[in-house]
Structure 1
Amino acid sequence: MELTPETIKKALQPVVDPEIGISVVDLGLIRDIQITPEGVVTVRMTLTSPFCPEGPAIVQEVEQTVRFLPGVKEAAVELVWNPPWDPRTEASDEVKAMLGIWD
């Protein structure tokens, strides 16, 4: 498996926000993935709210999932809050429909 942002997102698909029960990838919480040639991966992500009670657990699960991928030497998660998460622009179309968000 080649280590790319797409393969990492695929590996993160099973990680869900436990309050909503939807994948962090489908929610659009994964903002950016940087991979160095040395296998250091940094995932920039946000949460649905800065006060998300499950935030630490979600971040830990994302980091552990990435850390155990073949070719990853180090993994880190960086939380970003700007811009705030907006499901109307960041969530997948399927999630928008599930949340009752229509364009």
Structure 2
Amino acid sequence: MSATGAEKQAAPASPEALRDEVVEQLKTVFDPEIPVNIYELGLIYNVEVNEARDVRVEMTLTSPNCPAAQSMPAEVEYKTRSLDGVGEVTVEVVWDPPWSTEHMSEAARLELGMM
């Protein structure tokens, strides 16, 4: 989503606007085994942006044995860091509450034929 030259956009004006950009960026990260982005899957529990424009993402995985346990948090960090105006990035993988299909958005459930 990074642009160059004249197309490059200015950093968002507020932490709230930057948070919205981070969420949109996270929607480009997909679980390798499920054809739905990790935000709609409910793997992102929280996104915080402070006044210094530091970003903290709290996420989980579908299971502790998830094959993407190393790569997915790294991709979340990389894609978040790639946005203009982002300061420090912290990605924390948490297991409480445990992920379940109840965390999925309605769109994700429809995509996976669960409705």
Note whether the superposition's TM-score is higher than 0.5.
yes
> Which residue is equivalent to 1:25?
39
Distance 1:6 1:72 in 2: 12
CA RMSD of aligned residues (A): 1.4
Q: Over residues 25-80 of structure 1, what are the superposed CA-to-partner deviations in whole Å (9 max), with x where a residue is unaligned?
A: 11011100111211211100011111101121111100000111111121110011
> Which residue is equivalent to 2:109?
96
Give the percent of matched residue pairs that are identical in Structure 1 and Structure 2: 38
Deviation at 1:4, TM superposition (A): 3.3
TM-score by length of 2: 0.80
Q: Which 4+ stretches in 1 moved above 2 angstroms?
A: 1-6, 97-102
Aligned residue pairs total: 101
Distance 1:73 1:94 in 2: 31
Deviation at 1:21, TM superposition (A): 2.4
> Which residue is equivalent to 2:75?
61
Contact 2:26–2:79 (Cα < 8 Å) also in 1: yes
Matches within 5 A, 1:70-89: 70-88=84-102
Query: Structure 1 stretches of 5 or more lacking a match?
Result: none
Query: Structure 2 stretches of 5 or more lacking a match?
Result: 1-10
Whichever structure has more helix as a proportion of its residues is 1
Distance 2:35 2:68 in 1: 12
Distance 1:100 1:86 in 2: 16
